[in-house]
């Protein structure tokens, strides 16, 4: 059990941090055998940073680059160095809105998890719940997957289905998907830890 307790998660987020909060709750309740030494954001006003500070977790903010949707290689390398400094085993993307291009994927190959608000491979990219509504499908959901260079295309680790109900607006549907995300993400992270699905866990 002690070796499981030593699994260190580095969390990256750009928004208010609801998935991060769900992960913290799972750790506190003993359902997730991990700890979080650092939370990193690309936005200094991101709510996830305030949640981390309230939980007495170290935070870091990335340098602002020239691009809105991805990080320059040198900034991504600084991100990788920060995660290494905290001896992170597994990187967890929790609403991180930047596409990772290379240096972080090279530093943590097969060790970066993401959650996406659709049943991949359907509805990749931004605002997937709106895409689902516009497509007229009867259900959508969320997917936890490994991060690879192609966006929203890594191997799938877990999914939860969410029905689309009459009268759903994008906001109502998104909120229901997020409820599913908060259940699914901690469960999948624990499954990854239990099955040792990545390299480099501390012995």
Give all strands (DSSP E) within the chain, no chain letters. 8-12, 35-41, 58-61, 90-93, 112-116, 139-146, 156-163
Question: Distance between CA 181 and CA 131 in Å, rounded?
Answer: 18
In sequence order, the 6+-apart residues with CB closer than 8 A to the CB of 14 are 41, 42, 43, 46, 48, 95, 96, 97, 98
Q: Between the CA atoms of 143, 148, 149 and 150, what dihedral angle is there, to the nearest 10 degrees?
A: -40
Residue 182 designated active-site: no
**Chain centroid, CA 195 distance in Å:** 19
- Phi then psi dihedrals of residue 158, to 5 deg: -175, 150
| β pairing state of 112-116 and 90-93 | parallel
Q: Which of 116, 145, 174, 182 is catalytic?
A: 116
- 3-class SS of residue 111: coil
Helix %, strand %, coil % of the chain (to 5) = 35, 20, 40
101 contacts 161 by C-beta, under 8 angstroms: no
As annotated, the active-site residues are: 116
């Amino acid at each position: 059990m002690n070796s499981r307790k030593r699994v260190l998660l580095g969390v990256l987020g750009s928004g208010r941090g609801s998935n991060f909060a769900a992960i913290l709750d799972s750790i506190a309740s003993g359902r997730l055998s991990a700890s979080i030494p650092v939370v990193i954001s690309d936005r200094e006003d991101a709510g996830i940073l305030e949640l981390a500070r309230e939980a007495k977790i170290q935070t870091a903010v990335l340098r602002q680059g020239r691009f809105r949707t991805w990080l320059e290689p040198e900034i991504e390398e600084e991100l990788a160095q920060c995660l290494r400094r905290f001896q992170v085993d597994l990187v967890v993307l929790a609403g991180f809105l930047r596409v990772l291009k290379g240096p972080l994927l090279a530093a943590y190959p097969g060790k970066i998890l993401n959650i996406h608000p659709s049943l991949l491979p359907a509805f990749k990219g931004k605002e997937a719940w709106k895409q689902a509504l516009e497509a007229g499908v009867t259900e959508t959901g969320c997917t936890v997957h490994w991060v690879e260079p192609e966006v929203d295309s890594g191997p799938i680790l877990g999914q939860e289905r969410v029905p689309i109900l009459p009268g759903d607006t994008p906001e109502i549907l998104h909120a229901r998907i997020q409820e599913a995300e908060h259940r699914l993400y901690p469960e999948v992270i624990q499954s990854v830890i239990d099955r040792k699905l990545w390299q480099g866990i501390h012995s």
